[in-house]
Chains A and B, each alone.
Chain A
Amino acid sequence: MSLKQKTLDLLKRREEALKGGGEQAIEKQIAMGKMTARDRILALLDKDSFHEYDLFVEHDTKDFDMDKKKFSGDGSIIGTGTVYGAPICIFAQDFTVAGGSLGFMHARKIVKIMDHALKMRVPLIGINDSGGARIQEGVNSLAGYGEIFWRNTLVSGVIPQISVILGPCAGGAVYSPALTDFVFVVDKISKMFITGPEVIKTVLGEEISMEDLGGARVHCEITGNAHFFSESEQECFDKIKKLISFIPWNNTQKARAFPPKPPKKEYKIDSIVPNDSKLPYDVRDVIRAIADDSDFFEVQELWAANAVIGFGRINGDTIGFVANQPIVMAGVLDVDSSDKIARFVRYCDAFNIPIITLVDIPGYLPGIDQEHAGVIRHGAKILYAFSEATVPQVTVILRKAYGGGYIAMNSIHLRADFVFAWPGAEIAVMGPEGAANIIFRKEIMEAEDPEKMRKLKVKEYKDKFANPYVAAAKGYIDSVIEPSETRKMIIHCIEVAKNKSANRPARKHGIPPF
Chain B
Amino acid sequence: MEEKEKYKILVIDDVKYQTRLTKKFEKRKSYIPVDLNKLISFISGTVSKLSVSKGSKINKGEELLILEAMKMKNRILSPKTGKIKSINVEIGQRIAKNDVILEFEK
Q: Which residues in A have some Cβ–Cβ distance to B below 8 Å?
A: 203-206, 221-222, 277-280, 305-306, 326-332, 336, 362-363, 365-369, 372, 402-403, 430-435, 437
Contact = CB atoms under 8 A, between A and B. Distances in A.
B20 to A, nearest CB: 5
A437 B16 contact: no
Interface string B4-25: 0001001011111111111111
A399 to B, nearest CB: 11
A425 to B, nearest CB: 16
Most buried by B among A205, A279, A366, A403: A205
A434 B15 CA distance: 7
Contact of A332 (B12, B43, B70, B97): B12
Interface in B5-64: 7, 10, 12-25, 28-29, 31, 43-45
Contact of B44 (A206, A280, A365): A206
A438 B75 CA distance: 51
B96 A367 contact: no
B19 A363 contact: no
A139 B14 CA distance: 58
A278 B17 contact: yes
A369 B31 contact: yes
A45 to B, nearest CB: 37
B15 A205 contact: no
B28 A329 contact: no
27 contacts: A203-B71, A204-B69, A205-B94, A206-B44, A206-B96, A277-B15, A278-B15, A279-B18, A280-B7, A326-B17, A328-B21, A329-B10, A330-B10, A330-B18, A330-B19, A332-B10, A362-B15, A362-B17, A363-B13, A365-B12, A365-B25, A372-B31, A403-B13, A431-B15, A433-B13, A434-B12, A434-B14
Given A330-B12, A362-B15, A431-B13, 12 more contacts: A203-B69, A204-B97, A205-B44, A280-B18, A326-B17, A327-B19, A328-B21, A329-B21, A329-B25, A367-B28, A368-B31, A369-B31
For the complex of A and B, the 6 pairs showing the least CB-CB separation, nearest first, are A434-B13, A330-B17, A431-B15, A433-B14, A434-B14, A330-B19
Contact of A329 (B14, B22, B97): B22
Interface residues of B, number: 28
B44 A328 contact: no
Contacts of A362: 12-13, 15, 17
B20 A328 contact: yes
B38 to A, nearest CB: 19
Contacts of A305: 22
A366 B13 CA distance: 9
Nearest to A429: B13
A414 B43 CA distance: 43
Contacts of A403: 13
Nearest to A221: B23
Contacts of B13: 362-363, 402-403, 430-431, 433-435
B44 A329 contact: no
Nearest to B29: A369
Contacts of B31: 368-369, 372
Contacts of B18: 278-280, 330
Most buried by B among A222, A280, A305: A280
A478 B17 CA distance: 28
Nearest to B16: A278
Contacts of A435: 13
B24 to A, nearest CB: 7
A327 B29 contact: no
A430 B11 CA distance: 12
A433 B17 CA distance: 12
A203 B70 contact: yes
Nearest to A204: B44
Nearest to B97: A204
Given A204-B44, A367-B28, A280 B17 contact: yes
B42 to A, nearest CB: 12
